[in-house]
Amino acid sequence: MIEQTVDIATRDGKTTTFIVHPERNGPHPIILFFMDAPAIREELRDMARRIATAGYYVMLPNLYYRKGVLELADLPPLPEAEARARMFELMGSINIPMVMDDADALLAFADRDPAASPGKAGAIGYCMSGQYAINAAARHPERIACAASLYGVQLVTDRPDSPHLAAQKAKAELYFACAEHDTYAPLEMVEALDASLKQAKVNAEVELYPGVHHGFAFPQRGAVYDKPAAERHWERLFALFQRNLG
């Protein structure tokens, strides 16, 4: 595997981006991997590496660069902890238009790298970034052929760029993995999302993972981590990539 960390120029500065891809048999299809709210950490890099081993050029950008933040300290479980307040502050400092500008810059950078395929690409996002993966597919309908939101939040809002509306502009196959017990993405939102996508006949699947909580796919999330559900989500992702990117 080949790994590098590069500063990619964007409209608002430079995003430090972890890139990993196989050493041989390139070029490889691009996967944009949008981080969750706790920011870049080795856990996410390991997940990027796992995707890359299947033959993909994975880009994991820091979305908090506008605030000068790359990594956060380990988050304590107490919801009132100062570190958690900082995380939510950072999460609220970015929005869909900002991250879509970042996605443009990431794809432009990859298009200059002979290790990255100029063809169809994919996008995934966890937690706060599920909305970004879906909007990236809408932003680049001819380029992004598949996108996945993993326990994504704010998927149905009253904004014009709400993911449930953006999904209708995408040509990609979309996948939504949702936890049964999720304070940040309640079942009411999941049901509204599913109904909206079905009514619009979007090429999408909304899958409810029974008995699990928000963050179930992260191995370092303590008791929240659910290995069977996490492995199911990997199975779903790799099948999605294989169908659409090869």
Q: Output the pLDDT for position 203.
A: 97
The alpha carbon dihedral of 105, 137, 161, 67 has a sign of negative
Q: Output the pLDDT for position 246.
A: 86
Q: Output the pLDDT for position 74.
A: 67
Each domain of the chain, given as residue ranges in start order, spans: 2-245
Q: Output the pLDDT for position 76.
A: 54
Question: Which segments in the chain show pLDDT lower than 70?
Answer: 73-81
For 2-245, CATH gives 3.40.50.1820
Q: Output the pLDDT for position 176.
A: 99
Tell me, letter by letter, the H, E, C secondary structure of the chain: CEEEEEEEEECCEEEEEEEEECCCCCCECEEEEECCCCECCHHHHHHHHHHHCCCCEEEEECCCHHHCCCECCCCCCCCCCHHHHHHHHHHCCCCHHHHHHHHHHHHHHHCCCCCECCCCEEEEEEHHHHHHHHHHHHHCCCCEEEEEEECCCCCCCCCCCCHHHHHHHCCCEEEEEEEEECCCCCHHHHHHHHHHHHHCCCCEEEEEEEEEECCCCCCCCHHHCCHHHHHHHHHHHHHHHHHHHC
Q: Output the pLDDT for position 80.
A: 54
Q: Output the pLDDT for position 73.
A: 65
